[in-house]
Structure 1
Amino acid sequence: MAVTIRDVAKAAGVSPATVSFVLNETPTQSLRPETRERVRAAAAALGYTPHRIARALREGVSRLVVFIAGDLHGGSTASMISGLESELREFDHRLVVLHGPRDEDLLTALAPRAVLDYAVMDFADADLEGEGWVDGLARHASVQVDHLVDLGHRHLAIAYPAHGTGRLLEIRLHHIRTRLQAAGLPAPVELSVPDDRQEAAAGLTRLREQHPEVTAVAAYDDMTAIRVLAASTILGLRSPQDLAVIGFDESPFSSLWTPGLTTVRIDAEGYGRRAARLALGMPVGAWTHPPSQVVRRETT
């Protein structure tokens, strides 16, 4: 296993940021000579080789990382951002969070070290296949499917916002289809859910007319699940008797709806930390954070 900057920091009894300052000879940092010597000795003893982040710092690349959250506000967004921010600070970088559409002029002005774009998965200098945090996050949609299948549901619908959610939705759908296929079950029916509850009710009506076999809905997130439940109320449907519903990425209001929304809790802060390391071109290591889990309430 490759020696990391954290290994050197632990051996030297200093912070990772201090190791970065010493090995990159940061001129603006005043450190004791004995501290510098201790860091260099630890790095030499462990055989630490600075990776590309160190070279980038020497070359004067910006220490900003931009996270484009788009319309991502609910659920565990705050925890994810907290993980991003704290991990980046460990390596003397700072996080800038932008909401709304991607602004290329602003990105050019900021000249960040990396851009994490939630909508299109645009990670600078990061391999997203397999190790990507969004891909990993999407895999937890399988937990929704497993829960519904364990309850006896065999025909599922996947509900997502009508405005779309970029490539993350495509990846989520891929994992769900793969899971159902492995279980010998039919592919899920897709349900686009608009913000307007009346329009959502019309869409749910069409779903039930065209696919009466569907008994459960796995939603893209808790907000989408709430919209499905609101539409169900208009149509006089009961959950879970007439239609089971499960959300994703537990939000504070998921327990406030009546009946309480079943959802999936994920370790968003852990994903934020992994995203930060990927953005800096650093190894992420094995996933050691708590697994996602179903928070079961009355809708399933």
Structure 2
Amino acid sequence: MSRPARATAKDVARASGVSQTTVSFVLNGASGHVSQETRERVRQAARELGYVPNGSAQALRKGASRIVLLNIEGIPTGSSLGSYIRGLDAELAAHQHVLLVLHGHLSSQALSDVAQAVSARAVIDLGDAGRADVIATGASLDVFSAQADVPVRYLVDRGHRHIANAMPDTPELQALAGLRERLIRQATRTAGLADCPALVLPASLGAAEDRLRAFRAEHPEVTAVLAYNDDLALVTLAAMRNLGLRAPEDLAVVGFDDTPHGALFSPALTTVHIDAEAIGRIAARSALGLPAPDTTPEPARVIVRQSA
């Protein structure tokens, strides 16, 4: 007779009605903004399901070294990520830890093998928030995607009532782009706007022109675009220029990440800036099980330029 399948962190998350990242926080004993009621609900679900963390997760918690791994697979290396890594590295260094950044594609098992090979103190996995067994803190993934309400309010204040969400068609970015899309849709609903259609754009300018032309024909009511990041916003502006469209007169465009080259384009790109360095410091303290710092990150803000 076959043995029953072992309960996983995903099962615990489903039973307790929380994310796998929250399950990891609670069962790994990490500090974080999780209420006592939620912690108890997760522990109760784990007891009822007979969940036992796997050996790699235990190895991470008991890691003998002072190395923290950061996996950034699929995350664009823009200004926010660079600032985040600087803050993370500086805070870890202040507590005598070393940051090791992984860029390549790694399976869950490969990431676990690397962590065990270096006896990692913790793993911060921005590449896949679903790998709960090897995540010390995956909350940072949400931070890069959760600022949707700021640009939505900015556009609403300027009279826009139909906003599109420009997303990349790159497969490795779909998890993060999908999260941002859901948050933008939520922000537009909260603002009382119509549903937010998705404008999926390839990186190729010619293909982007064709996609934008078809999108405009299908959604003539859209007057503004919130792009996944500054790079995609600039692709949108370049495609608009080749189609004879003006920003912001025909279509307002807002990027995300406040990369330096956005200010050099014509029209200069309006974008969203986040305090990623402070977020990195908070992630470092959370990964080490330390209390959060007294200071909080500065609120996200729109860098107003010519495109919107």
Q: TM-score normalized by structure 1?
A: 0.74
Instruction: Verify the 8 A CA contact 2:62 2:121 in the aligned structure 1.
Output: no
List per-residue Cα deviations over 1:156-200 (Å, max 9, x = no partner).
Answer: 111122114243323322221121112211121111111110011
Gapped runs of 5+ residues in structure 2? 1-57
User: In 1, distance between residues paired with 2:123 and 2:221?
Assistant: 43
Which of 173, 176, 186 is matched with 2:184 structurally?
176
AA partner of residue 68 (structure 1)? N
User: In 2, distance between residues paired with 1:137 and 1:196?
Assistant: 25
Which of 278, 284, 287 is matched with 2:292 structurally?
284
SS of residue in 1 equivalent to 2:290: coil
Query: Which is higher, the Rg of structure 1 or of structure 2?
Result: 1
Measured after TM superposition, the shift of residue 62 of structure 1 is: 2.6
Determine the structure 2 residue equivalent to 1:245: 253
Measured after TM superposition, the shift of residue 119 of structure 1 is: 2.3
Determine the structure 2 residue equivalent to 1:12: none
Q: TM-score normalized by structure 2?
A: 0.72
SS of residue in 2 equivalent to 1:80: helix
User: In 2, distance between residues paired with 1:193 and 1:57?
Assistant: 39
Q: 1:171 to 1:92 in 2, by over 3 A?
A: same
Determine the structure 2 residue equivalent to 1:4: none
Instruction: Verify the 8 A CA contact 2:123 2:137 in the aligned structure 1.
Output: no
AA partner of residue 95 (structure 1)? L
Asked if 1:69 corresponds to 2:77, the answer is no
Instruction: Verify the 8 A CA contact 1:86 1:273 in the aligned structure 2.
Output: yes
SS of residue in 1 equivalent to 2:291: coil
SS of residue in 1 equivalent to 2:160: coil
Gapped runs of 5+ residues in structure 1? 1-54
Measured after TM superposition, the shift of residue 58 of structure 1 is: 11
Q: CA RMSD in A?
A: 2.4
Instruction: Verify the 8 A CA contact 2:68 2:100 in the aligned structure 1.
Output: yes
Instruction: Verify the 8 A CA contact 1:119 1:166 in the aligned structure 2.
Output: no
Alignment of 1:90-239 (within 5 A): 90-102=94-106, 104=110, 106-121=114-129, 122=131, 124=134, 126=136, 132-164=139-171, 165-239=173-247
SS of residue in 1 equivalent to 2:261: coil
More divergent stretch after superposition (204-213 vs 64-73): 64-73
User: In 2, distance between residues paired with 1:82 and 1:168?
Assistant: 21
Asked if 1:271 corresponds to 2:279, the answer is yes
SS of residue in 2 equivalent to 1:192: strand
Measured after TM superposition, the shift of residue 97 of structure 1 is: 1.2
How many aligned positions are there? 243
Percent of aligned pairs sharing the same letter: 43
